[in-house]
Structure 1
Amino acid sequence: MAVSLGSDTAKIQTIQREIVDPKTKVLIWCGSDSFDFDASSNEEAQDTAKAVSRI
C-alpha cells in the first residue's frame, strides 16, 4: 500500500494473522505488524520474516 505524505510516498507493508475457530467461524485472535518495504528484495524478505515472528 502506498500512502502519500506531502511530496513523499511512504511504502508500508502490513501483515495480519487471524485465528478462527473452524467449527463456529468465530475470530479467536488477531495480530498484525507493519514495516517499511522501500528496500531491496533481500531486506524485504528479512523484514517480512521479522514481522511474522513479532506477530
Structure 2
Amino acid sequence: MPGSDRDAHGCMASAGYSWCPRTVQCERPWELAEEHGFDITEEAYQAFCQQGD
C-alpha cells in the first residue's frame, strides 16, 4: 500500500526521506547535501545528521 513504508519518525523511505536528528525532521539526503555543502554520500549524510546529538 502506498505510504506504508514510514519509519518510526514518519519519514517515507520510498520518497527518499530519512530522519536527521540534527535538523529534527525527515530529510532527503541529496537536498540536505546541496543546502549545507557536503558530499552526496550516505557517510557524509550520517556524519552531518549525527552532529549535535
Report the TM-score when normalising by structure 2. 0.35
Which one has a larger percent strand, Structure 1 or Structure 2? Answer: 1
- Higher relative contact order (Cα pairs below 8 Å, separated by 6+ residues): 1
Structure richer in helix, relative to its length: 2
**TM-score, normalised via structure 1 length:** 0.34
